[in-house]
Chain A
Amino acid sequence: MAGSRRESGLKRAHFVEPRVAALLLLPQLAILLLFFFIPSIRALAQSFLLADPFGARVQFVWFDNFTALFRSAEYHESIWVTVWFTLAQSILTLAIAGVLAFATDRVIRLRGTYKMVLLLPYAIAPAIAGILWAFLFNPAVGPIAHALHTIGIGWDPNLNAADALILVTLAATWKHICYDYIFLVAALLALPPSLLEAAAVDGAGPLRRFFLIALPMISPTIFFLTVMNFVYGFFDTFAIIDAVTRGGPAGATNILVYKVYQDGFVNLDLGSSAAQSVILMLSALTLTLLQFRYVERKVNYDV
């Protein structure tokens, strides 16, 4: 194919000097070293230690921190909460963003305004967004909670584990829809209009056009967003949990990343916290590899 030949020609012509390539990579590698490799190695080392927070006394305890975690009922619960939360959040975000993107793609009047309104939540700091949601749904003073009570739903995220999990899932989803939305809108814009028009001429309605033509063609974007949503759910939802439920009630929303923070920075149990972050890192890595290995096969890049 013409494209790939041009690409390899480019490589040979411009990168005969490997030192230039290394130099260009250096800034990125330096950042990775400082903010990823060094902290990861230190976390790995810490996960085998029992240490007082000031570092005055340190004991090497082999895998004690890990075995303690696998024995702990709270940790098992945290794993399940994380799985549910991340799955629900990913699917919900993608579905809603997909509908909105397809809908605004068809709107002609005020398209810019719609898009701007839809993007607003992304500009709000997660902690502020979290407090907003916590207040709106607070069973004692929140207007939405009040509305739910009047229609006979006994909403109380302080005392009901399911309510709390629903609340943080909704808040996290709301915050992340914009991200997925931008990518989906861009992907839809890149579709050749002739294909969709041809389908319309052949009598396919908007839904058929979406599911049979648009969806398969934007599958690379959807795959990318699925990976990003998982990463978001795993790591970036910390601030929302902290503001909305603080992991409660009784650990109902205590996702793994929040537990890492809670045990490390509040409870000062550095060994356990490091062990948890190592496990979290490995599972995120495994998950992403699996996604690339199995899901990516179904993705069609040949548009």
Chain B
Amino acid sequence: MTFGRNLLLGGVLLGLAAAPASAQRVEVQWWHAMGGVLGERVNELVKGFNEAQDKYTVVAVNKGNYDEVINGTIAAYRAKRHPHLVQIYERGFMTMLLSDAVVPVHQLMKEQKYDVDWSDFIKPVAGFYTYKGNLMTMPFNSSTPILWYNKDQFAKAGFEKPAATWQEFEKQLYAIKAKGAAECGTALANDYFWSLIENYSAINDQPFATRSNGFEGIDTEFVYNKTKVVGQVTRLKKWLDDGVLQLAGTGLSPQQLFASGKCATYISSTADHGAMERNATIPWSATFLPHEADVATPRNSTIGGATIWVLKGHKAEEYAGVAAFFNHLASPRTQVWWHKVTGYVPLTNAAYKMARDEGYYTQNPTREIAVLQLGRGTPTENSMGFRFGNFTQTTFALRQEMEAVMTGKKQPQQALDDSVRRGNEILRQFEKLNQGKY
């Protein structure tokens, strides 16, 4: 009893202390996963919004990495102490969509009388998060993998820049190592499953799973063990055995292998621009991801990153604050600023046009690669994106099987067969639980 009373008393005191600040302003809580420099940018973004008007205060709280944020959100929601906004990675889309815990962003903006031109959101981003024709969550940080390279090391080996096809690119990497221009050809990023398997499938128009990679139904099944992915994995294993490909492992970031000049190339997110500009001591540049020589028209790559979901169960005036914040976030001016300071792609065509008209891309050509690569050609059912339930879990199985290839425990075909089998079991669990919901 005393304990309860003390808690109550503490709450009252806290409320009193906070009263002067929140008397006029309505507070909106936002949990995010942006640490380090990106975390500072989020704080600047929120500060900009809070200073631009006097009705709402957005409070941004870093709750750790993406896994920790979604976990914290679930625990908080179950205890009914959840924030208004949460930043959730793209792999959590289905979990959030079918959680019965969210307010779709298109609905929220309509209720709050904001007339948002959703069609101006760039296709590869909007398409990824659209369900039955409507955007379900507010796109925030979207990126796509690009190919970073060391200009000096390429020049030393007699190349101008990385080749457009995997076949030619492979020859270049072997030559770079043989001629001693660099110790290793390429460093393997931690999210290689995203860049070298998923995006590889999209760009080369290979099906990753049935039912348009899951967009058409939760009865989707993985099929990447029967596509060019097998050849891709075999190639990566060969590079690894020949010392052309290097792993960083724990205790070291793979980006350091590239940024320090040890490896000549690095395939990773365009959002690494911020870090490259700050940390790299080498003359770097970037270009499009390679494609297979026998694929005549390489398709668009797909996005990764996170969105901001709106959670149910709060007061109407607080949702008005959420809508005002989203309106601020989507404005071309905010988007161009965010694009420039982080390296993430701009969310709307208007923002992209604004950056281009400023001459930003003539000065920073590598900043445009991601936008161009995402918007390249007409998306096919293999390049729209990936939509799977329990996506984090199926990705984990894929990574474990990929490690089995790297350690030599399994042959590529067998590992991919096992990965697909394990992944499909996980998909069937999701289907069983969510029958008729999607």
Contact = CB atoms under 8 A, between A and B. Distances in A.
B390 A268 contact: yes
A135 B432 contact: no
Interface string B366-403: 00000000000000000000000010110010001101
Contacts of B71: 265, 268
Contacts of A263: 393
Given A266-B392, A268-B95, A249 B70 contact: no
Interface in B135-158: none
Interface of A is mostly: loop
Interface string B60-77: 000000010011001001
A160 B95 CA distance: 35
B434 A131 contact: no
B4 interface: no
B251 interface: yes
A34 B257 CA distance: 47
Interface in B95-112: 95, 98-101
B249 interface: yes
A57 B433 contact: yes
Contact of B251 (A51, A55, A134): A134
Interface in A229-282: 243-246, 248-252, 262-263, 265-269
A50 B432 contact: yes
Contacts of A121: none
Given A54-B101, A265-B67, A269-B393, A250 B252 contact: no
Given A54-B99, A54-B101, A140-B257, A131 B251 contact: yes
B392 to A, nearest CB: 6
A267 B396 contact: yes
Contacts of B262: 140
Contacts of A55: 78
A57 B431 CA distance: 12
Given A131-B251, A139-B249, A250-B400, A267 B432 contact: no
B434 A246 contact: no
Contacts of A250: 400-401, 403-404, 406-407, 409
Given A140-B257, A157-B249, A50 B429 contact: yes
Interface in A139-161: 139-142, 157-161
B247 interface: yes
Contacts of A161: 407, 409
A246 B262 CA distance: 25
B400 A74 contact: yes
A138 interface: yes
B248 interface: yes
A8 interface: no
Contact of B95 (A53, A131, A265): A53
A221 B409 CA distance: 42
Contacts of A245: 250
Interface residues of A, number: 42
A158 B98 contact: no
B95 to A, nearest CB: 6
A59 B248 contact: no
Interface residues of B, number: 40
Nearest to B184: A140
Interface of B is mostly: helix
Nearest to A134: B251
B270 interface: no
A266 B250 contact: no
B250 A244 contact: yes
Interface string B235-254: 00000100000111111100
A248 B247 CA distance: 13
A4 B14 CA distance: 56
Contacts of A136: 251
Given A52-B98, A161-B407, A161-B409, A268 B248 contact: no
A201 interface: no
Interface in B203-230: none
A54 B248 contact: no
Nearest to A131: B251
B406 A52 contact: no
A53 B390 CA distance: 10
A187 to B, nearest CB: 37
Contacts of B396: 262, 266-267
A249 B98 contact: no
A2 interface: no
A142 B249 CA distance: 11
B78 A54 contact: yes
A158 B249 CA distance: 6
A266 B246 CA distance: 26
Contact of B250 (A134, A159, A252, A269): A134
A56 interface: yes
Contacts of B393: 263, 267-269
A56 B249 contact: no
A157 B401 CA distance: 17
Contacts of B246: 140
A185 B404 CA distance: 44
Nearest 3 pairs between A and B by C-beta?
Answer: A134-B251, A158-B249, A250-B403
10 contacts: A50-B429, A52-B433, A53-B74, A54-B77, A74-B400, A140-B252, A157-B249, A158-B249, A161-B407, A267-B396
